[in-house]
Chain A
């Protein structure tokens, strides 16, 4: 594949714009978090910090339960991820590889789940959870997060399944393998990268969820990062340094996570396809 000069120019200009749009705000936040307060609110802001301090991070760690929020977020996100996969995988398989009455109807029903504003279900759900004693529990967040991630996960999974040639499966069927075996032994390995993508999607959806976590969780010991972070904003006063440190600290864990497994997300999306 040879590009003309003009094409290359367009490509690299596009890349530059992309880097600036995505990277610049993060650069400002991360460098802002180590600036002295005076420099943070300066009317002529600085691109490169002129001062350096770690006191915002010290304050963050000393006086807030950030590590607790972090653990909660990770626990909730991991469980949401596992449950989502366990529910989405068989459903997607049935939707795409099995014939049964009402298949299209059910499939549509699942996508239509996104037609309801989350706010609608917030209050009734609170009542429901209160009745079964789940308010202020991490389990309640897992349940909500799975419900929010599940429909899209099924759709994602379905398109991965679609990329596996039917012949492979048909051969197994002729050999007399039952459906669960086909799913577990033959398809799973083939769509493993796809499953990884769905897992990461479910993880991140849960990681970023704010509305339900803010109402369903009452005690500080069970707060997740978004809610804990929102708490630091505070009425009447804003400590920008603390917030920028908090923003950095709230981003860092997922950045590390993505450094380790990020390529799975992308390769799962892009290479799951059999060319």
Chain B
């Protein structure tokens, strides 16, 4: 009798325990750096759906800005209140990896790759030191944007090589208009545009295999020289530009051509919005190079929790997010900007049924095509050296350009000083 009672009580207690274990969902905090309101809203819609479908997991987002996350995330991890999931770009991953906050996602990425087939260029910058450090989430690649009517009027074909490009930029200049809008700010945007010249001159690698620098070479110098020449045809305020100013210059017809990840949504809302007239092409290449390449930023999501249950939950969430039916909606948080990192994502209905993406279908297809030839400085050889974090964050590539454009140094001197600066940073 007593034994039965005891067993019954124990059984009840167990069910209660198990029940409460079920009732207590795993909560994941996700820091993502897509802070403009419409992006936050779209991500929230997806999270609401996920949380509803998975009662045992609750994912909540905390939008952060790229501007201060470099200070905030390390401080938060040091204080023990960092997030469980953290968005990243390759150079940021090296920083978070260095403080030991990232968990490798080798198996997860292998599974996802088998299912969805990652575009190789998006995965490569996160694979080094024997592991995969983030799950690629969306890609961005720089393209050249122009107006078809404007080129036609000037009797120009779409430039493919640097000499054609120079001619085009000169012909489009005049009458208070600028043939091309290239930034020269000490800022990430300029890093990107300058590097897109370097990759098109076969100067994609800035490191040797032993970790020393090969930035200072004739091809880099030629890329800087060409950039500086074209930059002279840009508006006078371009030394302080970020993406937004370049976009505005293009949309107001002040600039004939710009290098951008996208201009689609602003062109659609702030300019003519004529899809037939908006041209996009690969960044032109040096005359002696066979084809174009570009810079691409594969944005990834890192798992940054040491808790096993949370890690498991995070994997469930990331797998869910990359399912084609959800993934397209995720990318379209900013239609025409974020590109798929998976083969099936690039075909997903959920991606192509967005009205803006549909309207600019040919442009988006060109962007995806360009992104396949994308590279990122410091992540080109399969070997990654820790100093790339500080070199990216301090915009050494852009700074080198400023020495030419603002200080009037020769390209050779500036590049030489740039390499010295990189060596100095790596030595610390």
Contacts and interface: CB of A to CB of B under 8 A. Distances in A.
Q: Does A touch B (CB under 8 Å) in the complex?
A: yes
A171 B383 CA distance: 82
Interface residues of A, number: 36
Interface string B29-40: 001010111101
Contacts of A63: 37-38, 40-41
Contacts of B81: 130, 135-136, 218
Given A135-B79, A135-B81, A240 B248 contact: yes
B140 interface: yes
Interface in A231-272: 231-241
Contacts of B35: 231-232, 234
B243 A123 contact: no
Contacts of B262: 236-237
A63 B334 CA distance: 13
Interface in B56-106: 62-68, 71-72, 75-76, 78-81
A240 to B, nearest CB: 7
A43 B176 contact: yes
Interface string B143-169: 000000000000000000000000000
B288 to A, nearest CB: 32
B75 A126 contact: yes
A59 B248 contact: no
B192 to A, nearest CB: 10
A136 B76 CA distance: 11
Interface residues of B, number: 45
B63 A239 contact: no
A240 B75 contact: no
Given A232-B37, A236-B261, A42 B252 contact: yes
B244 A238 contact: yes
A38 B248 contact: no
Contacts, number: 105
Nearest to A136: B81
A205 interface: no
Interface string B275-314: 0000000000000000000000000000000000000000
A118 interface: no
A237 B79 contact: no
B203 interface: no
Nearest to A215: B72
Interface in A145-203: none
Interface string B257-280: 000011001100111000000000
B247 interface: yes
B266 A237 contact: yes
A235 B254 CA distance: 22
B254 A220 contact: no
B374 to A, nearest CB: 15
Contacts of A72: none
Contacts of A7: none
Contacts of B243: 235-238
Interface of A: 37-38, 40-43, 59-60, 62-64, 122-123, 126-127, 130-131, 135-136, 214-215, 218-220, 230-241
Given A64-B37, A237-B266, 13 more contacts: A40-B270, A42-B252, A43-B254, A60-B37, A126-B75, A218-B72, A218-B76, A218-B81, A231-B35, A233-B65, A235-B33, A236-B261, A237-B244
